[in-house]
Copies of this chain bind each other. A is one copy, B any other.
Amino acid sequence: MARTPGRTTITDVARQAGVSLSTVSRVMNDNATVDAELAERVRAAALALGYTASPLARSLVLGRTQTIAVVVPDLENPTFVGILRGLSRAAADDGYHVLIADSAEQVDEEAVLATQTRRRTDGVVLCAPRMSDAELAALLPTLTPAVVVNRPPQHGTPVVAADYRTAFGGLIDHLHGLGHRRLAYLAGPPRSAADAERRAAVADGLERHPGLEIAIVPGGADFDSGAAAREAVTATGATGVLAFNDLVAMGLLSTLAEADIRVPADLSVTGCDDIPFARYTTPPLTTAAVPTADLGARAWAAMRAQLEGGEADAAVSLEPRLVARASTGPAAR
């Protein structure tokens, strides 16, 4: 009644090959020098029995699980999925597994989840855009090794992030170049790190372009936030809108269409992230392409560096690329 597959144990192999446990272990890990003939006998026995060392037992004795945890706020967000995807493939290439923890947007659950999954893994990659700086700072030391994604540099833990500030600045310049002088920033979740970066970009832009005005409209991070903000946006009198991200832009786009407000003739709209669907909106969305897969791969690189005992770069910053599509055009007035 073999409940566990691969139930053959190292003892079985040792018996079959007529050697001791240690010898089998050595051969399997091609450690030390083992007599060629013995080694062959062991290999044959292992093959015949279909033996593979129990990852669990190895984890316990070696103190490492070959697994890392990734905490994400919500798998509904394509950006996090992209990061997860890049990360998981990069880790797999190095023989590591990925445990995924979806915090379901429960900010207060994130720390618990991270701590909990950390115990069954060798490290955790934290995507927690909403967690407060204070909580993050308190949490990170207990997680070592850890990697933080899309937050400002942290003390003691490497950060991998897209440079949203510069990216958003590029979007502002793009609109300014098209003659827009009055813009609106349809903001993201209050107090989120992501929103703070965009606001900084807004401040930068204002400084860079005297005469430019940017109204700030409260928003959120999803479709509905965008759709709900139409009136507030139009009330600003802006000719161009910088949506927090592509999802928000898409929500806005759909409600603008219903209201017969033409894009970009009446109003230019930009997104951020360049999720795969951004080029299929009507009109196709001008946005900043965030290299999510790269971000994930870099996050893994930072984790691996620590796992191997080295020091990872304190912060890597990836530059999003401006993608001008048809949702932006010359200013209406």
Contact in complex: B99, A99 (CB < 8 Å) = yes
- Given A65-B56, A101-B97, the answer on whether A85 and B92 have CB atoms closer than 8 Å is no
Contact in complex: A63, B223 (CB < 8 Å) = no
- Given A67-B120, A85-B102, A250-B277, the answer on whether A57 and B55 have CB atoms closer than 8 Å is no
- In the bound complex, what is the Cα–Cα distance between A92 and B276 (angstroms)? 29
Total copies of this chain within the assembly:
2
Q: Which residues of B contact A254 (CB under 8 A)?
A: 279-280
- Given A4-B63, A63-B4, A281-B282, the answer on whether A119 and B55 have CB atoms closer than 8 Å is yes
Restricting to A88-143, which residues have a CB under 8 Å from any CB of B?
88-89, 92, 97-102, 104, 115, 117-120, 142-143
Among B63, B99, B100, B282, point to the contact of A282 (Cβ < 8 A).
B282
Contact in complex: A99, B101 (CB < 8 Å) = no
Among B5, B60, B98, point to the contact of A100 (Cβ < 8 A).
B98
Contact in complex: A63, B3 (CB < 8 Å) = yes
Q: Does A76 contact B (CB under 8 A)?
A: yes
- In the bound complex, what is the Cα–Cα distance between A332 and B282 (angstroms)? 23
Contact in complex: A102, B89 (CB < 8 Å) = yes
Restricting to A11-66, which residues have a CB under 8 Å from any CB of B?
52, 54-57, 59-60, 63, 65
Contact in complex: A60, B60 (CB < 8 Å) = yes
User: In the assembled complex, how far is the CB of residue A286 from the closest CB belonging to chain B, in whole angstroms?
Assistant: 16
- In the bound complex, what is the Cα–Cα distance between A119 and B52 (angstroms)? 9
Contact in complex: B88, A75 (CB < 8 Å) = yes
Q: Does A290 contact B (CB under 8 A)?
A: no
Contact in complex: A76, B85 (CB < 8 Å) = yes
Q: Does A144 contact B (CB under 8 A)?
A: yes
Q: Which residues of B contact A75 (CB under 8 A)?
A: 81, 84-85, 88
Contact in complex: A60, B56 (CB < 8 Å) = yes
User: In the assembled complex, how far is the CB of residue A277 from the closest CB belonging to chain B, in whole angstroms?
Assistant: 5
- In the bound complex, what is the Cα–Cα distance between A81 and B99 (angstroms)? 15
- Given A75-B81, A81-B75, A88-B100, the answer on whether A54 and B119 have CB atoms closer than 8 Å is yes
Q: Does A299 contact B (CB under 8 A)?
A: no
- In the bound complex, what is the Cα–Cα distance between A290 and B219 (angstroms)? 29
Q: Does A302 contact B (CB under 8 A)?
A: no
Q: Which residues of B contact A4 (CB under 8 A)?
A: 63
User: In the assembled complex, how far is the CB of residue A96 from the closest CB belonging to chain B, in whole angstroms?
Assistant: 11
Q: Does A253 contact B (CB under 8 A)?
A: yes
Sample of 5 A–B contacts (CB below 8 Å): A3-B63, A6-B119, A52-B119, A76-B81, A250-B277
- A-B residue pairs, 5 tightest by C-beta: A282-B282, A75-B85, A55-B120, A277-B277, A100-B100
